[in-house]
């Protein structure tokens, strides 16, 4: 019966991921609103290229938009805190920062060079109510797990992702290697990457740099 319950929840969560066209950058993103309080959510958007060869690693574009009361928000690409690429983002003055992390244990994640980000100028900013960061990531959608097995997320289907939210802010917001305090909320969902396929992926990255 456990399986039935898990299946029902997963099926319900899939429907919450939708395709969204972002007129500002021109990307079509698969979007999920991760609730961290009643009526408040951090939006996680992912764009992937078309024609990704089977079993090949591929770049993605991640966009995170959060109300300014969010101290930091993070995405875990393997759907859990430990041993997978973590994208952690926060506000920095009128802009926002994204940091590449990896947690070998349930404590402050270390910086991670296996994923490299190119921040896209268009789509990275803070306005009166939200901070938002948009970045190309090389190394977010594939990684080696603890047993050395190569994991490649499905560019045309559903992947289990997780997020974390903290109200408190990083100690040095201008630095992508800043430390930050532990989260107050975590959760996971099934994210359908097929909602965010872009045939002009490389051209859009270049245009928004």
Ligand X SMILES: *[C@@H]1O[C@H](CO)[C@@H](O)[C@H](O)[C@H]1NC(C)=O
Footprint of ligand X (CB under 6 A)? 54-55, 65, 99-100, 111, 127, 129-130, 132, 176-177
Q: Sign of dihedral through CA atoms 16, 17, 22, 28? A: negative
Nearer to ligand HEM, 75 or 197 (CB): 75
Pairing of strands 185-192, 28-37: unpaired
Give the nearest distance from C-beta 188 to ligand HEM in angstroms.
6
- d(CA 106, CA 193) in angstroms, rounded, equals 27
Residue 8 backbone phi and psi in degrees, to 5:
-60, -45
Selected from 10, 35, 82, 151, the binder of ligand HEM by CB under 6 A is 82
The yes or no reply on residue 83 touching ligand HEM (CB under 6 A) is no
- Using the contact rule CB under 6 A, the part of the chain among 2-10, 52-60, 79-87, 126-134 near ligand HEM is 79-87
CB 142 within 8 A of CB 153: yes
Residue 182 contact partner, candidates ligand X, ligand HEM, none, CB within 5 to 8 A by sort of partner: ligand HEM
Q: List % helix, strand, coil for the chain (3-state, nearest 5).
A: 10, 45, 40
Number of Cβ within 10 Å of residue 199's Cβ equals 11
The yes or no reply on residue 164 touching ligand HEM (CB under 6 A) is yes
Contacting positions for ligand HEM (CB under 6 A): 74-76, 80-82, 86, 88, 101, 106-109, 162, 164, 180-183, 186
């Amino acid at each position: 019966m456990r399986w039935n319950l898990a299946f029902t929840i997963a099926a319900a969560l899939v429907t919450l991921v939708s395709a969204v066209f972002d007129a500002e950058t021109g990307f079509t993103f698969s979007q999920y609103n991760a609730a961290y309080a009643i009526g408040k959510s951090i939006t996680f958007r992912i764009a992937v290229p078309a024609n990704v060869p089977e079993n090949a690693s591929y770049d993605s574009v991640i966009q995170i938009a959060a109300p300014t009361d969010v101290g930091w928000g993070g995405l875990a690409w393997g759907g859990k805190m430990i041993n997978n690429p973590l994208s952690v983002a926060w506000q920095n003055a009128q802009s926002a920062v994204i940091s590449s992390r990896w947690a070998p244990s349930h404590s402050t994640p270390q910086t991670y060079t296996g994923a490299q980000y190119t921040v896209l100028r268009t789509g990275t900013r803070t306005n009166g109510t939200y901070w938002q960061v948009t970045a190309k990531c090389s190394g977010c959608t594939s990684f080696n797990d603890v047993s050395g097995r190569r994991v490649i997320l499905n560019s045309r289907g559903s992947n289990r992702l997780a997020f974390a939210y903290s109200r408190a802010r990083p100690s040095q917001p201008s630095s992508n290697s800043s430390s930050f305090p532990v989260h107050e909320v975590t959760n996971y969902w099934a994210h359908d990457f097929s909602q965010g396929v872009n045939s002009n992926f490389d051209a859009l990255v270049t245009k928004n740099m």
